[in-house]
Structure 1
């Protein structure tokens, strides 16, 4: 009779100790989309520059102050968020390459040149300390947007 309880205990122990696969948690700030080729011909007009953009999302339940956070491309073009940019819980913000008036859901890089290559590039989001939070790469001959999720 003693063998049965030990066998049952061993079976229970084996089932409770079985590892379940670990899933990576979503980063706090995640790149959702890179729209890398604005519509029409590339003439560097402000409207054309603003036709290329990156959308990032706060995946947490708390607002994140983005002061000092950066968005970069593979070449090293860097946009740094200012102190007044707060990304609300579960909210998105669009970073457009050209100029405009910053708001709560859209900010502007203020560039006179395009950032995102039409064939391939990588978008990176980094914390103020330089730590990589998320990235999204594309390699495409199709000139449309790249969904990163």
Structure 2
């Protein structure tokens, strides 16, 4: 049974596009590489053929993994979500109590996390610490150095 993961419409489209590209474009390239290597002679001593077969195996494994991921993918219905709590797709502005630094993160599914864009996974330590919190709450996040406390300043969609 596959694991259920929640995605935004954008994240789900990206996942489907990647799978489609692997199946339609990369699979054909791998087959072509094997055919070219096969034409070069004795397969028992053909390193290029072995490498092409291994690359094809890795590609098929990646396709299989994406297929499984997509079969467990669910679209998030934002209209049914509580806007007073930090949940998936919430934009949370918080303040580190130790150094006073303010930051804003958007909580997203694992596959959509991008720290440079301010998107953190709900399964990351900070993401887990923020889930279910409301404005005014203090989120305690366990990190390797100890516990960091964040004041929740604002939650938006």
- Which TM-score band (shorter chain)? under 0.3
Normalising to structure 2: TM-score of the pair?
Answer: 0.26
Higher relative contact order (CA closer than 8 Å, sequence separation 6+): 1
TM-score by length of 1: 0.27
